[in-house]
Structure formats: structure tokens, C-alpha cells
Amino acid sequence: MTTFYEPTASEFGHLRRCVDLAREALDDGDEPFGSILVDAEGTVRFEDRNRVKHGDQTRHPEFEIARWSATNFTAEERASSTVFTSGEHCPMCAAAHAWMGLGRIVYAGSSAQLVQWGSERGAAPAPVAALPITTVAPALEVAGPVAAFAEELRELHFDRGRG
Ligand code: ZN
């Protein structure tokens, strides 16, 4: 059974924005993932969504956040920031996040859920193992998935399957 995380009201609002970005990505022909970077004061400093449709399969929003933080945040700002994301970081993005010393991660849907939904729709397995963030980067503080988004995310990922 999935153990769900109960977000605070402000966390819920940030996750809501991530899922909206995921829908925007899907509507634009990309994959349904969106993420935002929030500083220690609670201000959204950067947001992005998946942009893989032109062929660069590394254009994940969490990876863009890690790279953006390299030139726009100090080490202290990175450590005290929180990354909110519609889907749990893949191993590439978890590694980038950890290498940059970014702070806590809150995700709406887990990689395990994504694998489950993919198998339900008969999708081909991803080329990268769906490892949990904390398997890739054990010191990171993570929270998720959030029950309130499960059905919406499941539908978004089914729409992705229908192309
Ligand atoms: Zn990724």
C-alpha cells in the first residue's frame, strides 16, 4: 500500500502549480511533469515543465532547476530551498539535485505510482530504473506522494499514453 503524505496548505498550493505545469506540458506535446523552486522565504524563484518533444530527453524540469540554481543561488540559498514537483525525481534529476546541494523535495506522485500507471496502460518500460530519490541520494529529505493528486496524475499519464 502507498503511504501518503499530508501537505500543509502552502505545500498543497505549490504542488497544485506543479500539476498545472504538467498539464501545460502535455497540452504542448511534452510529457506531463512540472516543478518549481521555492526559497526559504516561501517565494517561487523558478519554475519549468518537461520539454522533451524536440528530442533532448534530458529536458526534465528538476534538472533545469538544478542547473538554474548553479548560477542564481548561493550554496546557502540552495540548501534552504524546497523543490516541489508533480512527479518524484528520476535518478538523473535526483543526482543533479543532490550534487547541487538543493534542499527538501515534495512530490505529488511517486515513481512507484508512475510505474504502476505505466503498466496499467501497457507502456514500454522506461530506459532508466524508477529508483526512489532516497536510493539515489540517501541524505535528501523528501515528502510524498499526496493522495489528493493521485487520480488527476493517473489521468494525465493515461492521456500521455493515448498520445
Ligand atoms: Zn528527471
Q: How far apart are CA 31 and CA 50, in angstroms?
A: 6
CATH of domain 9-160: 3.40.140.10
Q: How far is the CA of 43 from the centre of ligand 1 (A)?
A: 23
Structure letter (DSSP) for residue 113: H
Whole-angstrom Cα distance, residue 22 to residue 32?
Answer: 4
* Ligand 1 center to 144 CA (angstroms): 16
Per domain, the residue ranges of the chain are 9-160
pTM: 0.96
Low-confidence ranges of the chain (pLDDT < 50): 163
Residue 59 Cα, ligand 1 centroid: separation in angstroms? Answer: 8
> Which among 158, 66, 59 has a CA at the least distance from the CA of 116?
158
Distance CA 119, CA 134 (A): 23
Summarised one tens digit per residue, pLDDT across range 121-158 is: 898 888 999 999 999 999 999 999 999 999 999 999 98
